[in-house]
Structure 1
Amino acid sequence: MGGIHPARPASGSHRSAAFPRFLKTHLHPQALPWHREWKYIYLARDGRDVGLSLYNHIRTMAEEITAAGKPVPPVHSIPADFGTFWDQWVETGKPRWDFWGNVASWWQIRHQPNVLLLHYADLTRNKPQEAERIAHFLGCEWDASICGLVCEKSSLEYMRQLELAGKLGSPDKNKQKTGLVNKGGNGRWKDLLTEQQLKRYAAIAAHKLEPACAEWLHHGGHIG
């Protein structure tokens, strides 16, 4: 579909692309076309992990843009200090999207038959099980051989190698480090956020999300 971050949508690419066709986006469901025959998969992650992952991603992208001799756009301009970035992001979502509103909007439609909500923690705990859930949701065939292939090609190491080879993210084949695929671990924020910041995060989650949604966002698990 024109790359992960195409400069502009390729005209008619969604119609000419081979099956299965997919679109990856960070949009709210209200901003997307809605068709009953389409399948929508939403992947959520603990907001504390999201904040740190986003910070590292933006910093790396800004470094690459600077190294290329280009001006850094506002969407990639963030404070050098993670704590300062965090305080702004957790309250407003800047410089990107409204994290809390995004989670809440997908949670509201979780029981739609063509919607599947997944949690990053579940994928890391038991990828084969979650991959099978996705396959059944999409109506795809599934067996042990397919499971092994899917788990291998969705591994962080495999995707890092693709990015370094210029086959994922930017087409630069001389990358020395990955910017799109980082460590992928959970809980790395524990040594970076203060007790006050964690309390503020919990307070915002309680205010912005339904109790069951906040609990799910924190721990994961299948939604009944």
Structure 2
Amino acid sequence: MTEAKFPVKTREFCNHHFDSTVWNDFVFRDDDIVISTYAKSGTTWMQQIVSQLLFSGEEGLEVAEMSPWMDLRVPPKEVKLPAVEAQTHRRFLKTHLPVDALVFSEKAKYIYIGRDGRDVVWSLYNHHLNANGAWYDALNNTPGRVGPEIGPPCASISQYFDDWLEKDGYPFWSLWDNARTWWAIRHLPNVHMVHFANLKSDMSGEIRRIAEFIGTPIDESKWENVLKHCSFDYMKANATKSVPLGGAFWDGGAQTFIHKGQNGRWRDVLSAEQNMQYEQRAQSELGSDCAHWFATGELR
């Protein structure tokens, strides 16, 4: 039997959001869970799901506080690392980094969520459009930023999509870079791939598979509570518990952050040419099988 080859960190990734050096000093526990996505691909939803599995459908969990975004450079690692080390529950952490910018643990469990890039952009635009002055101040003016500031989005979501595609994730970061590295390790025993569309169509089945992967038995007497608390309506109504800083960085608060949770909103906006450009780029950047999975959630 071929021994699994685990990835090794080869670079740092730092910008207005990221400080990947936090992972260099992070001390793993063998039961840690790391939730990874490209931005706006279902991260908060997965954090809620994992919290519900670990705490058997408990209500009122402070998920954003319990599950920090490790590589977000605000607050700095000098503040973040001691706080995470002090946690006594089974830790479930968030990252938006490509694999080769992480320190990878052979014993931790990694859950990766994929989503069609066009759906990502629609959600990302809402996130960016409704960001307030505190968000810009934290990202641009906190010491340690690498590279240019992030500014307000353009007025047209169609233009926003074109810029994101043409400039490889502008003004955030590359989807392709992120996707390729996680797809490459999908067969590792401690990596579990989940697709946003499959969570939408079969949330119950997907949550049971996640529970099996992280080794958390389901208390069937609490199962209906788990499903209720992972529903979009519940999360929208209780958004301050799961959104960073209770939504203080967005106009309209936490309910703006948890926006619609819908796919396909781009279909009536993007032209045939724009869709063709996206699909051709996905094929060239990811390869046929990976591009198909990101678009549909179907493995082939």
Counterpart among 86, 92, 95 of residue 171 in structure 2: 95
Aligned counterpart for 2:277 among listed residues 191, 197, 200:
200
In structure 2, what is the equivalent of residue 108 of structure 1?
184
Report the CA distance shift for 1:191/1:75 in structure 2 as closer, same or farther (over 3 A): same
Q: Equivalences for 1:110-149 in 2 at 5 Å? A: 110-149=186-225
Matches within 5 A, 1:147-186: 147-163=223-239, 165=240, 168-171=243-246, 176=252, 178-186=255-263
From 91, 94, 100, give the equivalent of 1:30. Answer: 100
1:33 maps to amino acid: V
What's the C-alpha RMSD, in Å, of the aligned pairs? 2.6
SS state of the match for residue 42, structure 1?
Answer: strand
| 2:140 aligned with 1:65 | no
**8 Å CA contact retained: 1:131, 1:147:** no
Task: Tell me the alpha carbon deviations over residues 45-102 of structure 1, each in whole angstroms, 9 at most, x when there is no partner.
Answer: 01110111111111111xx327x99699543522111111111112310111101111
C-alpha displacement of 1:162: 2.4
Distance in 1, Cα, partners of 2:139 & 2:108: 37
CA contact (8 A) 2:136 2:151 kept: no
The TM-score, its normalising length taken from structure 2, stands at 0.66
TM-score by length of structure 1 reads 0.87
List gaps (5 residues or longer) in structure 2: 1-64, 141-148
* Contact 2:198-2:206 at 8 Å conserved across structures: yes
Query: Is there any run of 5+ residues in structure 1 with no aligned partner, and where?
Result: none
Residues 27 and 70 (structure 1), Cα distance of their counterparts in 2 relative to 1, 3 Å cut = closer
Counterpart position of 2:13: none
Offset of residue 200 of structure 1: 0.3
Question: What do residues 138-173 of structure 1 show as CA deviations (whole Å, max 9, x unaligned)?
Answer: 00002433432222222222222223x566333368
SS in 2 for 1:205: helix
Contact 1:65 1:72 (C-alpha < 8 Å) held by counterparts: no
1:109–1:80 CA distance, 2 compared to 1 (3 A): same
Q: Please tell me the residue identity of whatever aligns with 1:83.
A: S
Distance 1:146 1:27, change over 3 A: farther
State the alpha-carbon separation in 1 of the partners of residues 136 and 209 from structure 2.
Answer: 45
Identity of aligned residues (%): 33
CA distance in 1 between counterparts of 2:136 and 2:159 reads 26
Counterpart secondary structure, 1:24: strand
Following superposition, the deviation at residue 107 of structure 1 comes to 0.4
Q: Partners in 1 of 2:288 and 2:191 — Cα distance?
A: 20
| 1:12 alignment partner AA | P
